[in-house]
Amino acid sequence: MSTAPTAHQRADLGKQPVSAALAGPYGHPWHPMLIPIPIGAWITALVFDIGSHIVDDPGFLTRGAEWLIAIGVLGALAAAMAGFLDLLAIPTGTRAFRTGLLHMSLNLAVTVAFAINFAWRHGSYTDGRAVGGGMLALSAVSLAVLACSGYLGGRLAYRYGVRVADEGTQAEGFH
């Protein structure tokens, strides 16, 4: 007669990679290493957008923001693939899994919003003018949603310990 796994046993499942080659080895997942690419690119794009309203010749900033958005979308897709594998390691029906689903959904929505933002901008700033207010607002709102999703990602790692080495392994660093 088998018994249902305990909460501790289910939590241990969320620490193990589905595939170490694709998701990163135990205690060292790829997803958190990839997320700075889209976050940094998109924040810098917003700074460039704002800057395009301040400088006399904004063309270089609007073109730079456009390509930073594209780099962010590509980086987000790479991070999403690794993150999806991490999600698959979490037992379904748990609070951690529901948090992971919301985290993933928000990130996908942000990535789609930035892809739309790139398409909206693409090729339209060859005359060197400042970025439009609607595009700037879309970037700002998308980053606000990304911040909420980042909070959830932090909750997954730091509160629920998803893909984080167990406490016994972590204790090795304190001997």
CB 149 within 8 A of CB 107: yes
Contact 113, 142 (CB under 8 A): yes
pLDDT, tens digit, 9 for 90 and up, residues 8-32: 666 666 666 566 556 666 666 778 8
Residue-wise pLDDT for 36-74, tens only, equals 999 999 999 999 999 999 999 999 999 999 999 999 999
CB-based contact 70:108 (threshold 8 Å): no
Asked whether residue 127 carries a pLDDT value surpassing 70, the answer given is: yes
Q: What is the mean pLDDT of residues 95-114?
A: 97
In angstroms, the CA 13 to CA 145 distance is 29
More confident residue, 26 or 101: 101
Q: How many residues does the chain have?
A: 175
Of 149 and 29, the one with more pLDDT? 149
Please, which pLDDT band fits residue 168 given cuts at 50, 70 and 90? confident
Find the helix packing angle between 36-51 and 59-88, rounded to 10°: 160
Place of tokens 């709102």: 141
Better pLDDT: 8 or 116: 116
pLDDT of residue 132: 93
Each residue's pLDDT tens digit, 79-100: 999 999 889 988 999 999 999 9
Q: Which of 149, 32, 35, 162 is nearest to 97 (CA)?
A: 162
Instruction: State the Cα–Cα distance between residues 25 and 9, nearest whole angstrom.
Output: 19
